[in-house]
Amino acid sequence: MKRSWAPAWLLALLLVLAFMASLALGEVRLAPSEVLNVLLGGGENLSRTVVIDFRLPRALVGMAVGAGLAASGVLMQSFFRNPLASPGLLGVSTGGALGAVTALALGWASNSVFALPAASIAGAFLATFAVMALAKREASAEHLLLAGVALNALFGAATSFLLNLTAGRFEVSGQIVFWMLGGLENRTWVHVWMVLPGTVLGCLMLLPYRRAMNLLSLGERGAQSLGVNVRRLQWEIIALSTVLTALATAVGGVIGFVGLVVPHILRLGFGPDHRRLLPLSMIGGAAFVLACDLITRFLPGELRLGVVTALLGGPFFLWMLRRPT
Amino acid sequence: MIRAENLTLGTRLHDVSLHLPPGSLTAVVGPNGAGKSTLLLVLAGLLKAEGSIAWLGEDLNLITFPERGRRLAWVGQDLQADFAFPVRDVVAQGRHSFGDDGEFVDDAMQALDIAHLADRPVTRLSGGERHRTFLARALATDARIQLWDEPTANLDVRHGLDVLQLATRLRDEGRAVLISLHDLRAALCFDQVLVLDQGRLAASGKPEAVLNPELIHRVFGVKAYMGQEMILELP
């Protein structure tokens, strides 16, 4: 069977361009040659500081967030057999954010670097289990989305409550607002270590599941009759997708629509075969988040990343709902 | 080839035992809700029930998942397709437990008359075409045991007869084929008929012995006459 990898190269090229742009562009504008110089260990002191201390960690975190969220979206869509499922709509992102905010509000986050991602993972799993309990598998799209609406509202309210509790402690409440809106500002190498190894590992662990996910997305029983251990596969992919979302949320806050929009566009363009869709979504998600982050740097009023992805993703989602299936 | 003893599942199945020998074509009939689909799911190992099941002489619980995929193929009734895989890719999934070697895929598409739809997304098929696609996926497994749940329900007369003829061919190749049906007249052509009623096996055996007016009246609540009727067969 012919399977062209041209789209992968194209997306990879886009990703490289977005990566270089996010290192070069901003308040201090650097020439591409200077960026390359810095990456190769040379360059002026100012450029080195700008690239190595500020923009490189931000870009790496952005790529990990984008790849993780997009992969997580692909997994949830396959798991729920529903192209509308995604970490944002189902409340898994908000669950992760609630975990992160709880860790901040209660001061755990200052004790250990890993407290924040751990709390975020716990919150995301809470949300995943709640969605699974509320909307049984093969639930209708309406049921699933309504469960997501309810969870998003609930976790949002709990987060607001924590925000109220910390009123007056401006440093903490500022951080909480950051997690609610999502963004990549001021990300440091600590955040890179928080998110990047886990995301790379998670994405690599997913690759062997691609063939079985093809079968699963056409029905659980059919997949099992063809030799897939469906129960185990489902646990593994839902756990991995939750961890990927949680890691992304722990460093970037709630960044919506990446897991929905990116797999969808790629599926429209290159078909639903997970052997291609999953790696393409990882590359495409990373490029999408970097591109959105670049937009935040140039639009006036310091738009947050989560706001930009929502501004782009919201209309897309509405268009998708109107589209005849 | 497949043997089941005392299958019981809540109120859906009561103490059903059966044996499908190699080279046999068996029909399961019964009113709506009699437990036909449940029985097929249990036999396919897709639904847990009390009792014991053996495939090719081996206890089902001891057979690994990939080996199950090689030994038995099952096609359900409720075939949804929410993702636009091309027909050929769906049929090729039948080879999952064989490392996607692509064997029998073209033959299976030919046999189900969907070769001309190979590149069409499954989301853009009619109900009957989709059913034939999933039957082709089961056929591509080359499994020794085939369980099909109402395979003809969505099909036109011609393709319905095709499927029954295909089942006969598989029987002649030495496989065990079990098909659930509503068409009692079609069941008359099978080697063996199982009649399910409220989860119990009401009768089993040769169709001419089992499908008598008395039983049909008792189980289905209709009167059966033998008489002149239009006969449809493949040219």
| A214 in reach of chain B (CB within 8 A) | yes
Asked if the model's pLDDT at residue B230 lies above 80, the reply is no
Per-residue pLDDT of chain A (325 residues; tens, 9 = 90+): 446 778 889 999 999 999 999 999 988 899 999 999 999 988 889 999 999 999 999 999 999 999 999 999 999 999 888 888 888 888 899 999 999 889 988 888 777 878 888 899 999 999 988 888 877 655 666 777 788 889 999 998 998 898 888 877 888 888 788 788 888 988 999 999 989 999 999 999 999 999 999 999 999 999 999 999 998 998 899 889 999 999 999 899 889 899 999 999 999 889 999 999 999 999 999 999 999 999 998 887 778 899 999 999 889 878 877 775 5
| Whether the Cβ atoms of residue B177 and residue B170 lie closer than 8 Å to each other | yes
DSSP β-bridge partners for residue B192 = B26
| A137 in reach of chain B (CB within 8 A) | no
Average pLDDT, whole number, for chain B? 94
| Whether the Cβ atoms of residue A311 and residue A182 lie closer than 8 Å to each other | no
Angle between helix axes A6-24 and A56-79 (nearest 10 degrees) is: 140
Q: What is the pLDDT of residue A1?
A: 41
In a domain, residue A209? The reply is: yes
Among chain B residues, the shortest Cα distance to A138 is held by B80
Alpha carbon separation from A33 to A36, A43, A47, A266, A293 (Å, rounded): 5, 9, 11, 32, 22
In a domain, residue A256? The reply is: yes
Strands (E), chain B: 2-9, 13-20, 24-29, 50-55, 58-59, 72-75, 145-149, 176-180, 192-197, 200-205
Separation in Å, CA of A220 to nearest CA in chain B: 9
Chain B residues with CB under 8 Å of A211 CB are 96, 100
Structure tokens at B90: 């769906």
Q: What is the pLDDT of residue A138?
A: 58
Q: What is the pLDDT of residue B35?
A: 95
Task: Please give the full DSSP string across B160-194, using - where no structure is assigned.
Answer: HHHHHHHHHHHHHTT-EEEEE-S-HHHHTTSSEEE
Tell me the pLDDT band of B196, cut-offs 50, 70 and 90: very high
Q: What is the pLDDT of residue A202?
A: 96
In chain A, the number of structural domains is 1
Phi, psi dihedrals of residue B20, rounded to the nearest 5°: -110, 105
Between B18 and A117, the more confident residue is: B18
Among chain A residues, the shortest Cα distance to B145 is held by A225
Among chain B residues, the shortest Cα distance to A219 is held by B80
In a domain, residue A41? The reply is: no
Q: What is the pLDDT of residue A176?
A: 83
Q: What is the pLDDT of residue A317?
A: 79
Distance from C-alpha of A18 to C-alpha of A290, rounded to nearest angstrom: 6
The domain of A72 spans 51-318
Separation in Å, CA of A325 to nearest CA in chain B: 8
Chain A residues with CB under 8 Å of B44 CB are 225
CB-based contact A226 B69, cutoff 8 Å: yes
| A271 in reach of chain B (CB within 8 A) | yes
Q: What is the ipTM of this complex?
A: 0.92
In a domain, residue A44? The reply is: no
Other CB atoms within 10 A of residue B184 CB: 17
DSSP β-bridge partners for residue B146 = B73, B177
In a domain, residue A28? The reply is: no
CB-based contact B80 A211, cutoff 8 Å: no
In a domain, residue A6? The reply is: no
In a domain, residue A39? The reply is: no
Distance from C-alpha of B175 to C-alpha of B126, rounded to nearest angstrom: 29
Asked if the model's pLDDT at residue B86 lies above 50, the reply is yes
Stated pTM of the model: 0.90
Can you list the domains of chain B with their CATH numbers? 2-76+143-220 (3.40.50.300)
Task: Write the CATH number for A300.
Answer: 1.10.3470.10
Distance from C-alpha of B78 to C-alpha of B61, rounded to nearest angstrom: 26
Burial class (CB in 10 A: 0-12, 13-18, 19+), B31: middle
In a domain, residue A68? The reply is: yes
When CB atoms are compared, the residue of A82, A226, A273 closest to B82 is A82
